[in-house]
A and B are shown apart, each in its own frame.
Chain A
Amino acid sequence: MACRSSFAIVAFAGLFSATAAGAQDFLLKYPDIVGQWRRPPGIGIQWDQSKRVGPAQQAPLTPEYQARYEANLADQRAGGQGTDPLGKCIPPGMPRMMSVIFPMEIIIMPNTTYILTDYTDPRRIYTDGRAWPKEVEPTFTGYSIGKWIDEDGDGRYDVLEVESRGFKGPRTYEASGIELHDDGETVIKERISLDKTNKDVLINEITTIDNALTRPWTVTKKYQRERGNVVWYFNHCAENNHHVWIGKDNYMVSGDGYLMPVKKNQAPPDLRYFQSSQK
């Protein structure tokens, strides 16, 4: 009887462990990065979190792109948007989307890690061992291939290394208008891992290699896990966007619904087509 019981226990445990093995392996293999991740308190939308937004970022721009940046700043001071494309609700793309303007969710599946920011399209980081495709259709988000690494050899992955390519523009690092190169040949390398001393802090070391830079630009971003009541904000830039572009000129729509200038003495739009349509 006792032997039969033991056999039954072993058989049950064996059967169960067989069906649960895949799930158990999965749990033990990947880091716990489930939940909602936000910018740490006090951190704004600046690219390098350790510096203030704007020129204080000291982006290693080439002289050509430094001149473009200065012109952009002058335009912003005059009331324009400069080179920042978000006024048109163009998505931030990579690497800017990793500033996590709105909270971020990371979903780890065996072949893909998804990054959802509820502000842009999701990032798919392919971890299935695929090679780079011969051709990549350029996107703002880029095409990302990643690899999970067990750096400390404890049998569990702790770092996601990612490389992203295949971009289109315009893209900037932050609202101050620091541009990435028009050629879209940016390469972005990331190392995403949990803080070893605080599992509610996620670290992303982002290195941007771009022809508008004199050298690779590495910044380390931190995100904080929300442990309380998690609410996901569905932000739709186009819903309440008061910026209007007519040709190359930027205007605003006032609270009372009228077109208005954004710069002093700005000329109104050319209305020649209304003249002819009313003949």
Chain B
Amino acid sequence: MHYRSLIAATALAGALLAAFTAAADDSKYPNLKGQWNTLSPRGSFDPDKPPGRGTLAPLTEEYKAVYEANVKDQLAGGHGTEPSYMCLPPGMPRAMIAYESMEVVVTPETTYILIDHIHDHRRIHTDGRPWPTEIEPSFRGYSIGKWVDEGNTGRFNVLEVETRGFKGPRAYDTSGLPLHSDNKTVVKERIYQDKADANILYDEITTIDSALTRPWIVTRKYQRDTKQQFPWWREVVCTENNQHVRIGEENYMIGADGLLMPARKGQRPPDLRYFSQGEVTGATK
């Protein structure tokens, strides 16, 4: 009788456990609710170094040359290897610069990182799935994570994430520091709160990429907004007022008066061969 009670109680506990793992559980996961804003400078992927050459990214010789050509192009008015001027999403790992406010939504199966910038949202699958045999390449990649209780505190305190399956072009920051065009990047992250201040969040990001001579580790820092009861989430639409126009391989600008203008000195106008039947104005008259 008592054994049957024990079995029944165990079954009940099991059923509760199943339910327990299927829903959000504040006692098990860290409290990451709210709005997080970067405390690290946005201009440089490595917050401890100045942007551009000062970052001292461990690029291979080949990619140092790619980077220098990019710097030269940017100095001439171009965009070099920086793709986001045409509103391409930054992808990973750059998305974690968090150009806009970040929200972390934790469910047992998935942790969502929502950054209302240029589709920087991420799904980090924490349901124990294996890596799929095929991954549709994307700028943000495919992320699998695992919650870890470091120090056996009885509560998860670190989210370990690995992200693969990329496409490009991607750069680390606006300086145009490029990732390799083979897109075989692997990004590993450790996301955790400051032990002394739960309103500080860290993301230790290790990038393993064929354009690097060694894994590159940077740690970015975010602060929770504790002032607003109901945080405002800004809607940023890059395409709404983008003055850049790309025609073929050339980048141009749209002036305040709506006319096409060169983006660099001496730039030739676009080839208008398909307009041969129409009225031609300006430079090609």
Binding site for B on A (CB under 8 A): 2, 5-6, 9-10, 12-13, 16-17, 19-20, 22-24, 26-27, 88-91, 107, 109-110, 114, 116, 118, 121-122, 124, 126, 130, 133, 137, 139-141, 231-234, 236-239, 244-248, 253-254, 256-261, 265-275, 277-278
A9-B9, A20-B19 known; A261-B259 Cβ under 8 A: no
The residue in chain A whose Cβ has the minimal distance to the Cβ of B264 is: A277
The yes or no answer to B279 lying at the interface (CB within 8 A) is yes
Residues in B whose Cβ lies below 8 Å from that of A107: 105, 107, 112
B131 at the interface (CB under 8 A from A): no
B270 interface residue, CB < 8 Å from A?
Answer: yes
- Digitize B253-270: 1 where CB-to-A-CB distance is under 8 Å, 0 elsewhere: 011011111100111111
Known contacts: A141-B235, A273-B255. The answer to whether A231 contacts B136 by CB under 8 A is yes
Once the chains bind, are A140 and B235 in contact (CB under 8 Å)?
yes
Q: How far is the CB of A141 from chain B (nearest CB, A)?
A: 6
- Can you sample 30 A-B contacts with CB below 8 Å? A16-B13, A16-B17, A17-B16, A20-B20, A23-B21, A24-B16, A27-B19, A27-B23, A114-B114, A121-B236, A133-B230, A140-B235, A234-B138, A246-B258, A257-B247, A257-B248, A258-B272, A259-B274, A261-B275, A265-B278, A266-B275, A267-B281, A270-B259, A271-B283, A273-B255, A273-B261, A274-B267, A274-B282, A274-B283, A278-B266
Query: Given A19-B27, A122-B114, A247-B254: A91 and B237 within 8 A (CB)?
Result: yes
A12-B9, A22-B26, A246-B258 known; A258+B265 contact, CB < 8 A: no
Please, which residue of chain B has its CB at the minimum distance from the CB of A32?
A: B22
Taking the closest CB of chain A, its distance from the CB of B22, in whole angstroms, is 6
Q: Which of B219-277 contact A (CB under 8 A)?
A: 230, 232-240, 245-249, 254-255, 257-262, 265-275, 277
Q: Are A130 and B230 in contact (CB under 8 A)?
A: yes
B145 sits at the interface (CB 8 A): no
Residues of B within 8 A of A116 (CB): 112, 121
Tell me whether B277 and A277 are in contact (CB under 8 A). no
* Residues of chain B whose beta carbon lies under 8 Å from any beta carbon of chain A: 2, 5-6, 9, 12-13, 16-17, 19-27, 86-89, 105, 107, 112, 114, 116, 118-119, 121, 123, 136, 138-140, 230, 232-240, 245-249, 254-255, 257-262, 265-275, 277-284
Which of B88, B140, B230, B235 has the most chain A CB atoms inside 10 A of its CB?
B235
Point out the residues of chain A lying under 8 angstroms from B22, CB to CB: 23, 27
Chain A's nearest CB lies how many Å from the CB of B103? 8
Chain B residue, CB-CB nearest to A246: B260
